[in-house]
Every structure is written in structure tokens, then in C-alpha cells.
Structure 1
């Protein structure tokens, strides 16, 4: 008798974190035909993503306890950078001998953050995320614009691109990932702290004095980036200012959304990364340091006075 052909089982992925990025990427992966488990701390009623006025549910499996999961082919770590250590229980359960971990987080040094909390030898793919999305309720994500992921070129990047080829997510392997990571950090360095501290939207950067302050802030960071090996210069400063100027004035930032929701802030991995790198290279960063001190004070308030 002839053999009956069987379809190959879909690739299994787990997404840790159900914020804006986690929810959106989990939905995109599921719609592309992947077997998706969304790993969260608290139960969700489901997952729905709104885009261009249309709401679409995603049939993902939702897990609330690491004991409920087994190793998968890919893990997408999408928690905020400050919550990385809290994902260790998930990562230890989800990572098998052939598992790869893509780190979809802000900041730099993604690989160094994750390596200590995954099994030795696990493939780690640092990922720069260009997705504008907002978590408007538990399990409900509103996607605004962009669906790009930039990764260091190589075989792992090619595998990741193939994994998501059926989705709207576009994976771009880049030859100089250090520059790519710092360039993305630039887009956050002024918008996130200033909107969070002032509780104002992106339109604040239309003010000439605020634009001048931002230019000086970014020039400080550019000197640090170059010392770190990134090809960052005045053109990047100007490009970032133009990005702010052309963004919808009522738009926000992830740090602003976190403040409004009373959540801890990501400042240590954005502004703090610049200040610490400046210290390593003997480069003064007075404007970024001032922002960091203010953000630390705000974060203590959000945490209820804890350190």
C-alpha cells in the first residue's frame, strides 16, 4: 500500500511577555501558521490585535506557569529589559539543545543580559525592534506603524527570517549590529525620558528650546557610541530630530505608557547604558546623567518608595 503523506508539524515558538511587542509578535507568528505559546504571569482572556481599524484574534496557547511548558524551537523574549531576570524560569523550561532565543528588547547588550539565564551553549539572537504598538488592555494590542526586526547577519539571522517569512514581520540582517543597536537606542534616548518625566506627548519636541536640548543630549550620546565602536555621527542626531518632528504629535513612548500605567521604568537600559558606557571611556555625559537621576527618582515613586 502506498504511504500516506503527513504534513510536517508547525514550528513551535514561545513568546515571553504579553506587552505591546510580545502580543503583536505572538499574533503575527500564529497568523503565519506557527504553533505559538504566550508565556505570561497572569491569565489573559485571549489575544487580539487592532490594526488599521480592524481587530483580529490570535489563537495562541496561553501559559501562566513555567511548569506548563516544554522545550520549543524558538523563544522570543519580549519583556522589558528590567524584567529579564524574571524570565529565567521560563527560559530554563523552554530551551532545549536545539532552541534559539531571539531577544526583542530595547537598549544594547541584549545577548550579555540573557546568556547567564539560559542553558550554556544556547543560540542567542539580539534583535532591534521597530514596531510602534500599545497595550491598551490585558491581551489587547493596538498596532500603529512599522513591523521590522533588525538582527546581526549570519546563519541564525537567516533561520529567524525564514521562521517569520509568512508574517508581516520583516527581519533585516545587518552587517554592523553595534551601529544598528545604538541607532535604535538613539530613537529612545530623548523621547522616552522626556515624555515620561513631563507626561507629555511627542509634540513637545516641536518646541525650539526642547529641540535644542535634545540635540545636545544626543551629541553627548554620539560621542559615547563612537567610543563603543558604533558608526554614529551628526547625521544620526539630525535624523533622530527629524523623526521626532514628523511623528504624530499625540504619539507617546513606551516609557510614557509605563509611567501612566504605574509600571517600573526602563531607564537603566536606555539612559543608564549611555552614562555607564561614558564612564568606561572617560566621556562626560552631564545631560544624560541628569535625566538618569530624575528617572531614578520617578521610578522609586512608581515602585512605592522601594530602592
Structure 2
């Protein structure tokens, strides 16, 4: 069992995209009211006085779309400046990134994961639910800005949906040949998108690897990240290819993370909320941080059992909540 030292922090549950695998078309979501979100001060108190003391040192900011959060640059700087923060990263759709990439870097952010599910603007717009002017170029501009600024590693996340973007796997993999980029192929999961999942299914990482191996060749990489990706490399390429195989190759037994929702719920698992803690309500009720640390420590002790139960249950069921509601 890995040490649980990695916290994914959802800054906001709203997003300016409606990606098929995250917020299905026609879905009406109950968004969190502004006053229900953790404030910057509350979030920093939890990080500094609860999470860091119990062993969390690595933090990833997610959403929804985290760049929609007001004063996000200032929040990044505050978290990055904590002496015990060993790693701070962010997952974003990249649409709002280009104008503030330098500010985020200067504030202390060093790693970015950017969603890029297609190199074809029409396919991209279909996936994100866009019916107006194409949004692809602004995302690509955000990726280029992050590259110029110096974010390293710069990771591009690709959710592979059969019949939608699976034919682009080779083109997306080729992005790593001449660039020090890390493209990560993620198996499509049935979370809040039952109709799309049943209609399309998913492509196993092993099949994607074989497809790439047949054309480019593929070797295991010595590069390792903080997450569950199995990392490979096209021979001679500058970047790497990661495969996140939560459907075909369950990795629950080596999970090293927990999730904090935008409204302050600490959850031990993406798909299993056993023992979840409402930290925001407790904090606003005046519960001291020593007691909150104790509650989090108890949940950490439960984490291995929760992981193994989820692994044994598998990940092929249907889930009513969407990814935007779970938190990135």
C-alpha cells in the first residue's frame, strides 16, 4: 500500500465546457452556491493545519474548471509558498490558460495537465458540447503558452471514446516525438454518462499500446509520475505516453490519493465515499483543527480497506454523479 500523501482539491464545480464523458448532453446539474464553496482562507487553513500535519505534501488543483475560480493565481501562490508543499499541479481544459500561464508559473505552479481529446476542431467541439464558434484554437494556444513558459512536465489528457476520437490515437501519440510532452490516454469510464458509455463502450489500454507499437514501436519508460499511469515511450521520442487503465487494469490497491470537493467534503476514493468527512461544515461550526486532523487520520487508516473493496467490486458499474460533481 502506497503512502497516501496526494490530495486532489476541487476549486469549483462549474465548467465552461460540457464534455460528453463529464457532463452528458441535456443533463441539468445542481451547482454549488458561492457561499457553499470553501473560501480561500478555509482551504488554506485545512491545507496548513490539517492536511500537511497528517502527511499530505502533494496537491493537485482541479474543478470543474479551476481557472474559473476567482483569484486563482493568488491561491496558487499561497499554497505554493507553504514550506511543506512539495508539489503543486493543476488539471485544466486550457481554454482560459494562455493569458495567465506566466502568472501561474510565477506564482509557483510547475506542472499542468491539459485536456486535449482531439486534434480535429470539429471532433473536439463535439466532445466538449460546443455548438458555436470552435473552441479548439484557444485550447491549443493555452498549451503552446504553457510550453513557452516552461511547465515541465506538460501533460495532455486524452479520454478515448470509441467511434469518436479513437482514430486519432496515433496522431496524438506522435505529439511526443519532437516535444517534451507527456500524452496520457485514459480509458472511458461510466460515471454519469450511462447512455454514451453503453452506446460506445471503451478501448482497453493494452489495445491502444498495441496500435501504437505496430506503427512507432514502444518501450517502457523509466519516467514515473505521481499518479496511476503506466508510462511508455516511442523509441527516440522526447516525451512519453501514459496509459491510465482504471477499467481494464484496476489499480485501487496502489492508490495514493484522496479528494477534497469544492464544498469541503473529503472523500477517500473516486468511486467509494465510505467514511467521507464534511470538513467545511465542521470548520464553520468551530470544530478545532486538531479534531479535524484526528478525523482525517482515522479516514487514512480506513483507506487501504476501502481501496481493496473497490478493487474487488470492479469499475464497470454505472454511477449517477458526473465527473464535474466528483471533482476532476
Q: Same fold (TM over 0.5)?
A: no
Structure scoring higher RCO (CA < 8 A, sep ≥ 6) equals: 2
Higher strand proportion: 1
Give me the TM-score of the superposition, normalised by structure 1.
0.31
